[in-house]
Amino acid sequence: MARYGGVGGVGGVGGVGGVGGVGGVGGVGSTGLGDFLGAGAVGPYDPLTAIGLQTTAEGIAHVAGSGDAPQPTHLPANSKKNMKRSADWVRASLYLTDFIKDLDISVSGDDTTLGFETSTLVKITRPTEALMAAQAKWVRDYADLRADRGAEIQSQLGFPTEYFAMILALHPAQSRHTLELITATQVLSAHVAMMVKHALAIRRPDQVDTRILPMIATPGHGAFPSAHATEAHSVLTVLLALMEAWASHADNDDRGKLLRKLAERITVNRTVAGVHYPMDSWAGAALGQAIGGAILGRCGVAHTAKQITYAPTDTDFFGDELDRLIKGETVAADYGITVGAAVQSTQSDVFTWLWDKAAKESHTHSDPGS
Amino acid sequence: MRRRIDQYTGPYERWVYGDDLGRPFSFPAIRDRTSSYFTALMDSDTKLPDVSKLIYRAEAGAPIERIALRYPPLWNDGNALKVRPFCFFDPDDIEDPALTDLQVLLAELLELFDQFLQANDPDALRKRPRYRVNFPINPASWTKDYDAKRDVAGYTARTTPPKAIIGVIDDGIPFANRTYLDTAGKTRISHCWLQSARSPGAGTVPFGREYSNGQIDDLIADHGGDEDTLYRMSGAVDAALPELGTYIARGTTHGAHVLSLAAGASLAGVEEPDQDDIGIIAVQLPNTIAWDTSGFGKEMYMLSAIHYIFERAKRIADAAGVDEIPVVINFSYGWSGGRHDGKSEMDAAIQELLEERRKLAPTYLVMPAGNTYDDKLHAQLDEASFTDDSVSIGWKVQPDDRTSSYLEVWLPEELDVEDYSFEVTPPRGVSLDTVPSLALRGDPHFPRGDERNFADLRVGGAAIGQISVDRNRGSRWRAMLALAPTLPLDVDLPGFQRRWASSGQWTVTLRRSPTAARLPDGANINIWVQRDDDPSELKTGGKQSYLEELDRVATNDPSLPRYLHPLGTVRGFGSLNGVANAALTTRVAGYTQCTGSPAAYSSAGGLRNGSTGPEPWGSAVDVCAVSDRSPNRPGSLGQGVRSGSRSLLVGTSGASPQVARKMVRALADGKDAFAGLEPQTYTSGNPLEDAHKQARLGSFKAAPLWAGG
């Protein structure tokens, strides 16, 4: 399914460089290379052009003579200097593999632990069947907002990059690496979320309670944790750090509040749609901020992301309460969240290259993305 | 045989509270009997008993031994008023809920109440009250430690008291919206009562929760950056309370729209003076109000809201050292049934309250005309309508209607109904166990309350409807038909029998003997079908039924502005809001901004077929205001729940607060309340057109709040 609205304008997200149709391709599910799939590639030639090119080659090649080819100079081996030469999807492969190689998932009883390098990102306890039934009530209650949120929900089936772009005034012409950083973060997060979903294997709410009657197709993977929550909160974590590095908006504080509110809203919209329990949002948001921290570590950037242990309880989801918990503040209710040590990760060339480019895309930079 | 002292049951009470009648199809609070706290109106000139002697005791062994009473904040302590709201319950039942038959419990409680009224007032038998029992109160909303006279927690008198106060009664009140801040950044909302919120424990309201200006300012200071959090932390969102729910989580609500038009900052760059001199008092009604659009069961909440606004305004005046402050209340709500003669309980209550308070300060209640002009919910019969001493009309009841449907036939007050009877014929192919027919006279089995009689419509023994005749408030006869939903519902109640009324055309007939009295000159029989829709999308499953002439000759198609005489029997003239008929109520119709024409749906005052042309009858539209910006840009423009968001609302509910806004501005400026409205007369040269427009748009017009059209 094509991405609604994103194909033209922010379709450039995937299509960095404006390769036609990439935005559309990117919307195929939210896995694989996501918006990167095929991005930056020239694409297959149409048959007429393919034949035309060959006919031309045969007609003109003779003027270049028949001697030996000259010796080339080498590209630098294993160097981030080659990043810029690579098609977007190639860089995407590099980001993905650079991150995933250090992940480790382990399951012990009802607990799933996601490790990164030598530390932990999250430890999540599998919800009981009774909790799933109880949480279905929240999903039914949230259906009241379907009329309000329909357009958002439909346009956020894929990655909701346009919504982040709206707050930070991003445009492909001046923000191409920022958009690439967002997309890379989303793609990584989606992959990691699938690993955790697979381990925890929780039925979607509409399999528990037929009265939920979702307004969109229920995705073909488990409910817990929510990948939308994971992606939105990893992007939130990365963008808050990037905004700080930019230091170019006089209203950074307000933009930060809007980003937090947006991440919460994207997350809750999935409950409104009828495909996620609130506990999926807690698990996803916790996981997302941890992934965001690990990505920032890869970029060589300081961050405040925390390792989180989540033992789900029957509560609604509130993004601002998670923020407070991560900041070490006290909250009113027991949400089942325990905040641990800081997320640790080591710097890598590919992420550092991307971060350095994005960091130069501030709104006050004289040569954005240089 | 169960003991049942039917002193209170009007036709709605009997149907809605009847286990084997309409209760299974009613709002969850009634259907599931989740509460023992009841609300009611007392309609009598007997003195209100002293609430400090809260609990009355009957002799030991009586079916109900104790009853406890509670009054909401009453303006002027309810003195000089006849219709007053109160709450009642059986303390023993709270501790140990035993009876599940609501009809029996209510009847016995009210019987006990009557006994004590008589013990206190030797003249009580003559003054014997009529009761209207309303929706019960969720126990979670019941204030444990209630004191109506206590200071309102956190209330802060402003250094400059308001010159006028706007009161707004509605649903979904966004009390933290920044559009209600004064120029110093403090809220103009001095008091806000959420009637169905969870009780915080102690309070100055009998149920629900009150927020004072100080508390609202604190909430904004604590959470103002995130209004979702604010409403959650303040208890304005509570999924566990069906009467409150998560309604305020929506982008906009009816109440958000209406409040913003009545009292919010100006829109679309229109220059207005700041509103620091106009205070705001708001009341949020329970969602049950919108659940049952028929008009049943809400009066106590509505009347309590008006009293509350007046009572809090008095406190503000006292703090400011003045007697009373001018008040304009906007109440964008209504129903289509009722007497439409200003003598219903609510109209009488509104009239006497406005009369009393106007002795002290300018006081207005502004209400919408209604949105049912086109809906075929009203018909008018006259003497010429009778053929062979009978007259019938069709009632089309739709399939897939999951709520009860109601039709009311009101006979002229001056008609002697001796030898008149009321009959009902089901749709073709449906047979009832017995042919339902009632003479218009009371059954002696009901010695108390209004003269009345009932008969059930049964199919295979199961009740699928009820017909009734009652002399409403002792003065005017009404014949009525109530029908169950038109599709089978599985209801989780013990002993529930699946039953449903047939959809299709029902026929109601008035029949009389050849010697029965004729309708007096200029007197009419008026018929109204109750609203049965879902205006706030609360998923009630209501489907609107409508009237149809059996012998359809050339009738006036109300959707076209054709000026015909005579008018058809089923007509939009007379579709006026059934609760806006007090003489002192200000009724607001809707017009289309760019054309000046009445909005197609905007309900109108009554027109009867006179010998030479249409003659107005009953209450009339007073003012009109914009309810649509143009035929293809429907709705008035207001503000949504969250600060800075926008809202569109189609209907006269959006017109009414624009008028209230201009009236309260004029009063704050020391002018006549109507000074900000433009007088209008109709001089098209076509007397029919002029009469129609007068009935639809009234004698004043409110200029749009927005530029352009």
pLDDT at B486: 94
pLDDT at B540: 73
d(CA A126, CA A336): 12
B601: in domain: no
Q: If you measure CA to CA, which chain B residue comes closest to A264?
A: B228
Nearest by CB to residue B250, choosing from A141, A148, A318, is A148
Q: Do A141 and B239 touch (CB under 8 A)?
A: yes
Rama region for A121: left / alpha / beta (φ>0; ψ in -120 to 50; rest) = alpha
Residues 6+ apart with CB under 8 A from B405: B397, B482, B483, B486, B501, B529, B530, B532, B545
Claim to verify: residue B22 and residue B156 sit in the same structural domain: no
3-state SS record for chain A? CCCCCCCCCHHHHCCCCCCCCHHHHHCCCCCCCHHHCCCCCCCCCCHHHHHHHHHHHHHHHHHHCCCCCCCCCCCCCCCHHHHHHCCHHHHHHHHHHHHHCCEEEEEECCEEEEEECCEEEEEEECCCHHHHHHHHHHHHHHHHHHHHHHHHHHHCCCCCHHHHHHHHCCCHHHHHHHHHHHHHHHHHHHHHHHHHHHHHCCCCHHHHCHHHCCCCCCCCCCCCCCHHHHHHHHHHHHHHHHHHHHCCCCCHHHHHHHHHHHHHHHHHHHHHHCCCCHHHHHHHHHHHHHHHHHHHHHCCCCCCCEEEEECCCCCCCCHHHHHHHHCCCCCCCCCCEEEEEECCCCCCHHHHHHHHHHHCCCCCCCCCCC
Nearest by CB to residue B250, choosing from A141, A145, A261, is A145
**What are the structural domain ranges in chain A?**
100-359
Min Cα–Cα distance to chain A from B642, Å: 13
Given a cut of 80, is residue A51 above it in pLDDT?
A: yes
pLDDT at B600: 94
Q: What are the tokens at B99?
A: 């009876």
pLDDT digit string, tens, across residues B341-384: 999 999 999 999 999 999 999 999 999 999 999 999 999 999 99
Residues 537-576, chain B, touching A (beta carbon < 8 A): 537
pLDDT digit string, tens, across residues B272-306: 788 999 999 999 999 866 666 666 788 999 999 99
Given a cut of 80, is residue B11 above it in pLDDT?
A: yes
Q: Is B482 helix (H, G, I), strand (E, B) or coil?
A: strand
Q: If you measure CA to CA, which chain A residue comes closest to B227?
A: A261
Q: What are the tokens at A133?
A: 């039934």
Residues of A whose CB is below 8 A from B247? 144
Claim to verify: residue B352 and residue B330 sit in the same structural domain: yes
B235: in domain: yes
Q: If you measure CA to CA, which chain B residue comes closest to A147?
A: B250
pLDDT at A4: 34
pLDDT at B419: 96
Look up the CATH superfamily of A100-359. Answer: Phosphatidic acid phosphatase type 2/haloperoxidase (1.20.144.10)
Q: If you measure CA to CA, which chain B residue comes closest to A332?
A: B233
Claim to verify: residue B50 and residue B156 sit in the same structural domain: no
Claim to verify: residue B115 and residue B228 sit in the same structural domain: no
Examine the fold and report which residue of B334, B368, B402 is the final residue of a domain before the chain moves on. B368
What is the mean pLDDT of the segment spanning A27-44? 62
Given a cut of 80, is residue B560 above it in pLDDT?
A: no
pLDDT at A12: 31
What is the mean pLDDT of the segment spanning B332-337? 93
pLDDT at B609: 95
Q: Do B246 and A142 touch (CB under 8 A)?
A: yes
Q: If you measure CA to CA, which chain B residue comes closest to A141?
A: B239
Residues 6+ apart with CB under 8 A from A253: none
B287: in domain: yes
Kindly state whether B245 is in contact with chain A, defined as any CB-CB distance less than 8 angstroms: yes
Core vs surface per residue B239-276: b (16+ CB within 10 A) or e: bebbbbbbbbbbebbbbbbbbbbbbbeebeeeeeeebb
Min Cα–Cα distance to chain B from A145, Å: 6
Kindly state whether B247 is in contact with chain A, defined as any CB-CB distance less than 8 angstroms: yes
pLDDT at A38: 66
pTM value > 0.95 = no
pLDDT at A21: 28
Contact present, A267 and A232 (Cβ < 8 Å)? yes
Given a cut of 60, is residue A1 above it in pLDDT?
A: no
Angle formed by the axes of helices A278-298 and A252-273, to 10°?
140
Among chain A, residues having any CB pair with chain B shorter than 8 Å are 137-138, 141-142, 144-145, 147-148, 257, 261, 316, 318, 320
pLDDT at B641: 96
Q: Do A144 and B225 touch (CB under 8 A)?
A: no
Tell which residue, B249, B140, B541, has the closest CA to residue A138.
B249
What is the mean pLDDT of the segment spanning B173-188? 96
pLDDT interval class at B65 (50, 70, 90):
confident
Report how far apart the first and last C-alpha atoms of chain B are (Å, whole number).
Answer: 66
Q: What are the tokens at B370?
A: 């209604």
Given a cut of 90, is residue B489 above it in pLDDT?
A: no
| Domain total of chain B | 3
Residues 6+ apart with CB under 8 A from B645: B251, B252, B639
What is the mean pLDDT of the segment spanning A321-346? 95
Given a cut of 80, is residue B552 above it in pLDDT?
A: no
pLDDT interval class at B559 (50, 70, 90):
low
A140-149, B406-415, B449-458: range with highest mean pLDDT: B406-415
Residues of B whose CB is below 8 A from A142? 246
Kindly state whether B229 is in contact with chain A, defined as any CB-CB distance less than 8 angstroms: yes
Residues of A whose CB is below 8 A from B230? none
CATH number at residue B478: 2.60.120.1290
Min Cα–Cα distance to chain A from B454, Å: 38
Rg (CA), chain B: 25
Claim to verify: residue B171 and residue B131 sit in the same structural domain: no
pLDDT digit string, tens, across residues B585-637: 999 999 999 999 999 999 999 999 999 999 999 999 999 999 999 999 999 99
Q: Is B423 helix (H, G, I), strand (E, B) or coil?
A: strand
Claim to verify: residue B122 and residue B179 sit in the same structural domain: no
Nearest by CB to residue B226, choosing from A138, A141, A320, is A320
pLDDT at B708: 56
Claim to verify: residue B72 and residue B122 sit in the same structural domain: yes
pLDDT at A14: 35
From A316-325, B156-165, B348-357, B488-497, the region with the lowest mean pLDDT: B488-497
B594: in domain: no
Q: Do A138 and B239 touch (CB under 8 A)?
A: yes
Q: Do B245 and A144 touch (CB under 8 A)?
A: yes
Nearest by CB to residue A320, choosing from B229, B245, B250, is B229
pLDDT at B4: 52
Claim to verify: residue B422 and residue B470 sit in the same structural domain: yes
What is the mean pLDDT of the segment spanning A47-70? 92
Residue B679 has a CB neighbour count (10 Å cut-off) of 8
Q: Do B246 and A147 touch (CB under 8 A)?
A: no
Claim to verify: residue B452 and residue B382 sit in the same structural domain: yes
Examine the fold and report which residue of B145, B175, B191 is the final residue of a domain before the chain moves on. B145
Min Cα–Cα distance to chain A from B494, Å: 23
Claim to verify: residue B536 and residue B393 sit in the same structural domain: yes
Nearest by CB to residue B246, choosing from A144, A318, A320, is A144
pLDDT interval class at B152 (50, 70, 90):
very high
Question: Containing domain of residue B124, as a range?
Answer: 5-145
Q: Do B226 and A147 touch (CB under 8 A)?
A: no
Q: Indicate the length of chain A as a whole number.
A: 370
Nearest by CB to residue B226, choosing from A147, A261, A316, is A261
Claim to verify: residue B153 and residue B138 sit in the same structural domain: no
Examine the fold and report which residue of B145, B171, B198 is the final residue of a domain before the chain moves on. B145
At which residue do the structure tokens 């949020």 appear? B284
ipTM of the complex: 0.80
Claim to verify: residue B412 and residue B476 sit in the same structural domain: yes
Given a cut of 90, is residue A134 above it in pLDDT?
A: yes
At which residue do the structure tokens 């488990």 appear? A222
pLDDT at A273: 97
From A143-152, B244-253, B548-557, B562-571, the region with the lowest mean pLDDT: B548-557
Q: Do A145 and B229 touch (CB under 8 A)?
A: no
Contact present, B283 and B192 (Cβ < 8 Å)? yes
From A98-112, B403-417, B524-538, B660-674, the region with the lowest mean pLDDT: B524-538
B481: in domain: yes
B418: in domain: yes
Q: Average pLDDT of chain A?
A: 89
Q: Do B232 and A318 touch (CB under 8 A)?
A: yes
